[in-house]
Structure 1
Amino acid sequence: MLNFIYYPVSWIMWVWHWLFDKIMPDSPGGSGVAWALSVVFLVFTLRAILYKPFVKQIRTTKQMQEINPQMQAIRKKYANDRVKMTEEMQKLQKEHGFNPLLGCLPMFMQIPVFIGLFHVLRSFNRMGTGTAMPIGGTSEAMTAEQTRSIGNYAFSADQVQNFLDARIFGVPLSSFITEPVDQFQAFVEHGQPVDFTRWQIAVVVVPLMIVASIATHMNSRASVGRQTAAASDNPQTRIMNKLALYVFPLGILVTGPFFPVAILLYWVSNNLWTYGQQHLVFGRIAKEEEEAKAAKEERLRANAPKPGAKPSSPKRGATAVADAATDVDEDSSDEAPKTSLKKGDGTSTPQKASGEKAKQQPGPGKKPSPGQRPNKPGGAKQSGNKRNKKNRQGRKR
């Protein structure tokens, strides 16, 4: 049913084993180093394919940390309206180009790879599994002679036999601590004594379990250490951090006795790749952020006014028009000759150029200047009537 996973995994492993088998001569017990390296480089190949999704995952995680305060505000605001909360969150994610699936894609893609490799490695020895194979097509448990004479996906029967005879640190690559003793017969020629024990398997498996567990913890610790304070305070994030820091590494120690040696090699090499890749990607992202920050500061310095220069504030709209009109009125009033009425007649003479502005009476509805008497109602009209009355009296005399 999952042949679309098993065949690609087996073919990649086949290519690497063919390459290392050509480089290294076979040892008397089989090309154990070549088979081990084929597993390790199978991991490196798959992780190289997943490199770009991993970078997107890191960037998505940083985006999630940046918008997390806004997400919390939306949750608090629409706590009683789930539909509105979902709509607002989707809107916020769309505005920032955030896609939650990209953060989980690399992890989800590694799960089928791990399942495929686990199945292929266990299928080299089918004495206890009874796994249906493309050649032979049986679901019943096989004998030692049958399992050594039937191919395994991309591997021929000769390659299956070579894999079963291969040793790494004196034990077969597909052996595991809890494996029944009667299944050890598949790892040797018919009629030959078994050349390893369960304790020898434990001596190889236990250190690999510990290394894989510590490497998993260190990777999780490095990832958690790069989180912001706001993200760390999120309850969901705290739960995931505890799972990654303690539960997953502990899970390797608990399940390690059930895993073949090659699977633990896969786990160790996968963690080593992850540790190096995290430092590379995070270092590159930090460098990009520093360059962007430096470029922004450079633009601000270029647009800033020079020392001693008066910053310009252009006027716009009605304010500019009103200011321009005021300037024109002031210019015209300065150039026009100023006149004053002499007391007792209706003639006017230019004022002496004393540099002082004549005090003008304020018009109706305006406030008088400081020190100026306010006009009486109808003041201009009353002054004219008084002068006319005085002139008539002079003529009568």
Structure 2
Amino acid sequence: MDTIASLFSFITTPVSWIIVQFHKLYGAIFGPDTGWAWGLSIVSLVVVIRICLIPLFVKQIKSMRNMQALQPKMKAIQERYKNDRQRQSEEMMKLYKDTGTNPLSSCLPILAQSPFFFALYHVLSKIASGDTIGVLNQELVNSAREAHIFGAPIAAKFMDSEEKVAALSASLTDVRVVTAIMIVLMSASQFYTQRQLMQKNVDLTVKTPYMQQQKMLMYIFPLIFAVTGINFPVGVLVYWLTTNVWTMGQQMYVINQNPTPGSKAQDNYLQRLLKSVSSHGEVRGRRRRSVVQAIVAKGADRNDNERKFFAGLAKAGFAAQADGTVIKSDTVTADAEAGSAARRQQPKRQSKAQRQSGGTHQTGEAKPSLEKQQDTPPKPAGKSSPATPRQAKSGQRKGSQRPKHPSSKK
């Protein structure tokens, strides 16, 4: 670990400078040699680094959304070449290249933090040995060696010997208890962050290599932290626990406010939005209006969550507009009520006998004959009207009869 940390020694000077600047601030409040002053300086270092990494986090979110949009195509490739793994991998790589998607973008924040992580490890290792590094002079190094966080020096490790811990004015039991608790919290926070991402912000119905990768990371990263954490100084554990908590809060914000389309989180978000529209009669907030505007623009390409949201709006008597607003629409409600009323008032289906007779209603009353309804003049006696059709005998076809052939008998 010391060899790896030495590779990032070029960044130890800016890291140590940031820590010293925050130590001046917190030292004036809590005292320069306290664990609060040095511990909060490390926490503030994390905050500065994570603020600088926000553009990478945004890129990570966009890459994950692209991966979600590609999942149907990835599923089709997987089913088409399910017996040819090599061809399947080639088609996947081609799809990534054509769409400009990088499946490893989800690891960008962690990779970008690695130089700062190892630089801090290198700084704390020098503090433990009493050597100056970066902008830390001997006075600051001695002050940091005396700083304890819940009885554990910030430069002590879980695997340190009792003699080394005693040289830092601490007991081995205190160091191991504090480091063990911090390792557990660090691993648990990492696992929870990845788990809530998998359960709420992705579509688990589609099995793709990307989903398998995310599921694998959910178990691998906490295991890595648990195994390697015993070799980290207390100050590095503070750093990594803080960045995990930051990531967890950042992920919760994204899930609640900007969920992935088609995910469970989107369904919960749209239901909250529907409840707000029903209560206030409008879409409150520019960001919410942009969400409604994007859903309206999708047209027939809306997912199930978005169609459910629009159905809820119609049921509440609202219609979404292209600019993201909603209007009170009586037509939507009237159409819905008319449709339900029409379904309730459909006439009963008549039997075959009723259709043939044509004279019986559902109530059993006979239809009045057409001849009876018309006021026709009386026929002259002894003469028959040539226009009046002959009454059909039993077994004969009703209606006009075909004329007989002249040679036939009358």
Query: CA–CA distance in 1 between the matches of 2:195 and 2:66?
Result: 20
Supply the AA of the counterpart residue of 2:9: N
Shift in alpha-carbon separation, 1:177–1:56, aligned structure 2, 3 A = same
Match of 1:268 among 241, 259, 262: 241
Shift in alpha-carbon separation, 1:93–1:290, aligned structure 2, 3 A = farther
Length, aligned pairs only: 270
Shift in alpha-carbon separation, 1:98–1:257, aligned structure 2, 3 A = closer
- Answer whether contact 1:68 1:230 (CA < 8 A) is retained: no
Match of 1:7 among 3, 13, 18: 13
Match of 1:47 in 2: 50
Match of 2:76 in 1: 73
- Answer whether contact 2:159 2:231 (CA < 8 A) is retained: yes
Instruction: Give the alignment of 1:1-397 within 5 angstroms.
Output: 1-26=7-32, 30-74=33-77, 77=80, 86=90, 89=92, 92-93=95-96, 96-100=99-103, 102-126=105-129, 147=130, 150-184=131-165, 186-187=167-168, 194=169, 196-225=170-199, 226-231=201-206, 233-235=207-209, 237-238=211-212, 240-244=214-218, 246-286=219-259, 287=288, 289-294=291-296, 298-299=321-322
- Answer whether contact 2:198 2:215 (CA < 8 A) is retained: yes
Shift in alpha-carbon separation, 1:235–1:91, aligned structure 2, 3 A = closer
Supply the AA of the counterpart residue of 2:239: Y
Residues 289-342 of structure 1, C-alpha deviation per residue, up to 9 Å, x if partnerless?
A: 44421566523999xxx99xxxxxxxxxxxxxxxxxxxxxxxxxxxxxxxxxxx
Residues 272-297 of structure 1, C-alpha deviation per residue, up to 9 Å, x if partnerless?
A: 10111112233332455444215665
| Unpaired segments ≥5 residues, structure 2 | 1-6, 260-287, 299-319, 333-410
Higher relative contact order (CA 8 A, sep 6+): 1
Query: CA–CA distance in 2 between the matches of 1:15 and 1:98?
Result: 40
Query: CA–CA distance in 1 between the matches of 2:297 and 2:225?
Result: 46
- Answer whether contact 2:34 2:147 (CA < 8 A) is retained: yes
- Answer whether contact 1:69 1:230 (CA < 8 A) is retained: no
Aligned-residue offset at 1:151: 1.5
Look up the SS of the partner of 1:229 in the other structure: coil
Look up the SS of the partner of 2:42 in the other structure: helix
Shift in alpha-carbon separation, 1:96–1:254, aligned structure 2, 3 A = closer
TM-score (norm 2): 0.58
Shift in alpha-carbon separation, 1:283–1:236, aligned structure 2, 3 A = closer
For the aligned residues, what is the CA RMSD?
A: 3.2
Residues 73-100 of structure 1, C-alpha deviation per residue, up to 9 Å, x if partnerless?
A: 34555676968974x6566446645344
TM-score (norm 1): 0.60
Aligned-residue offset at 1:25: 2.8
Q: Percent identity?
A: 32
Match of 2:339 in 1: none
Shift in alpha-carbon separation, 1:252–1:96, aligned structure 2, 3 A = closer
Shift in alpha-carbon separation, 1:279–1:242, aligned structure 2, 3 A = same
Residues 346-371 of structure 1, C-alpha deviation per residue, up to 9 Å, x if partnerless?
A: xxxxxxxxxxxxxxxxxxxxxxxxxx
Shift in alpha-carbon separation, 1:89–1:283, aligned structure 2, 3 A = same
Aligned-residue offset at 1:4: 2.5
Shift in alpha-carbon separation, 1:65–1:12, aligned structure 2, 3 A = same
- Answer whether contact 1:151 1:160 (CA < 8 A) is retained: yes
Aligned-residue offset at 1:39: 0.9
Query: CA–CA distance in 2 between the matches of 1:179 and 1:32?
Result: 19
- Answer whether contact 1:122 1:174 (CA < 8 A) is retained: yes
- Answer whether contact 1:213 1:252 (CA < 8 A) is retained: yes
Shift in alpha-carbon separation, 1:289–1:97, aligned structure 2, 3 A = farther
- Answer whether contact 2:39 2:149 (CA < 8 A) is retained: yes
Query: CA–CA distance in 1 between the matches of 2:79 and 2:297?
Result: 37
- Answer whether contact 2:157 2:234 (CA < 8 A) is retained: yes
> Max radius of gyration: which structure?
1
Query: CA–CA distance in 1 between the matches of 2:291 and 2:100?
Result: 18
Shift in alpha-carbon separation, 1:243–1:53, aligned structure 2, 3 A = closer
Query: CA–CA distance in 2 between the matches of 1:60 and 1:109?
Result: 16
Residues 229-282 of structure 1, C-alpha deviation per residue, up to 9 Å, x if partnerless?
A: 244x225533541441x3332333333332211122112211110111112233
- Answer whether contact 1:178 1:258 (CA < 8 A) is retained: yes
Query: CA–CA distance in 2 between the matches of 1:81 and 1:178?
Result: 44
